[in-house]
Structure 1
């Protein structure tokens, strides 16, 4: 019989049978004592600043 901790009562350890364990695990209600660390992702490159565009036909000169 596995001894588990749930997300509902993380401070209390419970003994459950294999069927209950499988059900709780499939519902995501178990707290794993030794979770596997996720691999660290490489830092993302800084985004390039957006280029300002002018609508077609506009010259940018206010004196027309």
Structure 2
């Protein structure tokens, strides 16, 4: 069964993919401890380094119906 294309869901997916790839790579490469990003469309993400060296991501996305 094929799913209908929903631009809002595609945008949200693109945001999460960006955060979990490009943003994390930048965060890691520059040895940043905390970083907040937003795209101006209601999507926001906070990245922070955990005590054990991991990366914690808090992300929100906004969908307009």
TM-score after normalising by structure 1: 0.25
Larger fraction in helix: 2
Normalised by the length of structure 2, the TM-score is 0.25
